[in-house]
Amino acid sequence: MLQETGTEWLSQEVKTGTTIIAVEFDGGVVLGSDSRVSAGASVVNRVMNKLSPLHDKIYCALSGSAADAQTIAEVVHYQLDVHSIEIDEDPQVRSAATLVRNISYKYKEELSAHLIVAGWDRRDGGQVFATLSGLLTRQPFAVGGSGSSYVYGFVDAEFRRGMSKEECQQFVVNTLSLAINRDGSSGGVAYIVSIDEHGTEEKVVLGNDLPTFFDQ
Amino acid sequence: MIKNTQCYRPRTDLLLGKKKKKKKKAKKAKKKKKKAKKKKSTSCTSGKHKAHFTKMATLAVRQSPVGGFSFENCKRNAVLEGEANKVGYSLPAARKTGTTICGVVFKDGVILGADTRATEGMIVADKNCSKIHYISPNIYCCGAGTAADTEMTTQIISSNLELHALSTGRVPRVATANRMLKQMLFRYQGYIGAALVLGGVDCNGPHLYSIYPHGSTDKLPYVTMGSGSLAAMAVFEDRYKPDMEEEDAKRLVRDAIAAGIFNDLGSGSNIDLCVITKGKLDYIRPHDEANKKGVRTGDYKYKRGTTSVLTKSVTALNLEVVEETVLTMDTS
């Protein structure tokens, strides 16, 4: 028994417990994630930024197995780099999402990671794509990770089309805060990334600055 | 997927109780036949095979994977271990470094620390093993997990990094070593049990990474790994401050490893430190002997002269040399 508790972390895969969310607004997208990475019952990184850049204006949110998600993001980052040089302009969000989807589908059995791809491009503005188990679907907003189950009701009730960038950011922060409160595998700080035609803005909301709800 | 099943020819000879040994040859032959069949597209669904399909109705035969690694033997090993445990035997345990390893970024560089105990099951195999491995003159790596895996992984990456540095003509970067390590560990899908703390100083300043057996990495100002990681992390979370001085940082790392040594069964013996800064490298082994072997205060040996000699008589033995043979021994 003693041996088991000592080397448990070795056999258990490092997972990003996670809550991730991406929301589209008129003119861009807002992505948000928590920052907890766990291996079994122990937290191995409490400040991991799960919003990984695929290109200047395209980001992806990682969830599931940390190794699988990081590797997919890095491979797609490289492939997108090559693609954007080939077409000699900024890639479309749909292209990035397709590259992620191709890897997720081909290695469906071996990988256990879910990436939400979101960004802004000139042709279609802000877009959010979900790539769960190899499907590709464009949605007005997407949530993922273990913490998402606790906030489906909230996002379904509170999401409205035509929100401004600030309203979207507030919506994302509220969602993350609620999910972090209820999900054991989500926690730490909240990372927010806002992408629009003018640029990309990365923000960190520290734990004590997160909005509080009922008896806190 | 539908395309595959049409071209698939079921192996009924495997079904009819043939020995498992032949399966691999049969699979190779099946692959060759499949390739040949794909060229002539019409024969797959000919009447000759319909009879086989009816026999095969309830059984799904596995298709061999195309490309990539095959982890068949790992599954077989797991099954063998299960069977052995049932009978009461246990397979030999790989030597692990129970371990507490940690690293911290301070003002001028990074400090890596490690304990020095290597365990084989519940026995200490090595009381003073070196867990801080050389990667390049400015990059060192602590290893936890299976001792052989950490040794060989760090040696392979060290060698590749040296070739890479010669090819680029520049001092290697820590991020490069990190990428090489994580890509190799991901390729092996966690079967290489090496959990590493990689630290070094390059043209962009000091960097510290933690790398997990499955291939995920974290870039942080302070990291701990190993069975004693929780004890060491507690010390770090309490006393870490950004931009510490070298002496403070050394004391912090020493205390973190000591916490791991005293509170974790898998860690013990001495504390090794490695201080890496832009200009110099200090490999301090041991930095602190946390567990010194005690000195015996009493002695059960009898001194010469305890028993007094009463009489002494010498008898000579007259021997003749009959035969002499010389055997050479290879002492090279």
Nearest Cα to Cα of residue A22 among A62, A56, A55, A75:
A62
Structure tokens belonging to residue A106: 């081909």
Report the distance separating Cα A211 and Cα B47, nearest Å: 70
Report the distance separating Cα B69 and Cα A102, nearest Å: 20
**Cβ separation A14–B190 shorter than 8 A:** no
ipTM: 0.85
Residue type, A121: D
pLDDT score of A40: 83
Report the distance separating Cα B58 and Cα B299, nearest Å: 78
pLDDT, averaged across chain B: 81
pLDDT score of B96: 60
Report the distance separating Cα B239 and Cα B233, nearest Å: 10
Residue type, A133: S
DSSP code string of B17-32: T--GGGHHHHHHHHHH
Place of tokens 């962009």: B204
- B190, B215, B230: residue with CB nearest A71: B215
| pLDDT tens per residue across span B117-140 | 888 878 888 888 899 999 999 999
**pTM reported for the whole predicted model:** 0.74
User: With a CB-CB cutoff of 8 Å, which residues 25-54 of chain A face chain B?
Assistant: 37, 39, 42, 44-45, 47-48
Among the residue ranges A167-171, B23-27, B191-195, B251-255, the one predicted with the least confidence is: B23-27
Q: Where are the alpha helices (DSSP H) in B89-173?
A: 147-168
- Assess whether B99 carries a catalytic annotation: yes
Nearest CA in chain A to B267: A6
Structure tokens belonging to residue B38: 């794909």
Q: Which residues contact B23 (CB under 8 A, 6 or more apart)?
A: B14
Q: Is residue B154 predicted with pLDDT exceeding 80?
A: yes
Contact status, residue B14 vs residue B23, Cβ threshold 8 Å: yes
Whether B195 and chain A come into contact, CB under 8 Å, resolves to yes
pLDDT, averaged across chain A: 90
Query: Nearest-CA distance from B36 to chain A in Å?
Result: 25
pLDDT score of A1: 36
Structure tokens belonging to residue B329: 């021994």
Q: Is residue B160 predicted with pLDDT exceeding 80?
A: yes
pLDDT score of B93: 64
Nearest Cα to Cα of residue A72 among A28, A14, A131:
A131
Residue B36's pLDDT band, with cuts at 50, 70 and 90, is very low
Contact status, residue A194 vs residue A200, Cβ threshold 8 Å: yes
- B230, B264, B266: residue with CB nearest A42: B230
Residue type, B209: Y
Nearest CA in chain A to B263: A6
Contact status, residue A151 vs residue A175, Cβ threshold 8 Å: yes
**Cβ separation A66–B216 shorter than 8 A:** yes
